[in-house]
Structure 1
Amino acid sequence: MGISKPQLYRKISALTGRSPVSFICDIRLQKALSLLKENKYNISEIALEVGYNNPSYFSKCFNEKYGVNPSQIAI
């Protein structure tokens, strides 16, 4: 991208008001939510698709953000 890590951190923080890590996690979980609503894949496949290697950790993060388990949405 042509900028240093600290500069990238400052720019993302200024634009979003969040750290880059939390911003990326939110984007990944939004993608997971849309995949769950499509009902094409199971939860472990979606977890791997959005970058979580551990489906149980994915479920924990998803529950913290949306307040429901991914299995409740995938019904």
Structure 2
Amino acid sequence: MNVSRSKLFYRIKEIMGMSPNDLIRRYRLETAAQMLRQGKSSVSEVAYSVGISSLSYFSKAFKQQFGILPKDAARK
């Protein structure tokens, strides 16, 4: 596959409507939301398991994506 990194990023954004970084973040947060709804893990365990090591960043990104805090998603 003879494609430069910048060209690949451009094509992904063109096709998906978001950057690869945003796409990965969205996937991680969607996975985290599913895990929190199952109620088997704490918020910090979920954040770590989806590859986010900063709990404050996780909470901020989660609220931005879903409009609620992770701890509230775990209660539902």
TM-score, with normalisation over the residues of structure 2? 0.89
Structure 1 vs Structure 2 CA RMSD: 1.3
Structure of higher RCO (CA pairs closer than 8 Å, 6+ residues apart): 2
Identity of paired residues, percent? 36
CA, structure 1 residues 2+33, in 2 after alignment: closer, same or farther (shift >3 Å)? farther
> Any residues of structure 2 matched to 1:13-32 within 5 Å, and which?
13-32=13-32
TM-score, with normalisation over the residues of structure 1? 0.91
Partner of 1:65: 65
Partner of 1:10: 10
Runs of 4+ in structure 1 over 2 Å off: 1-4
CA, structure 1 residues 2+51, in 2 after alignment: closer, same or farther (shift >3 Å)? farther
SS in 2 for 1:52: coil
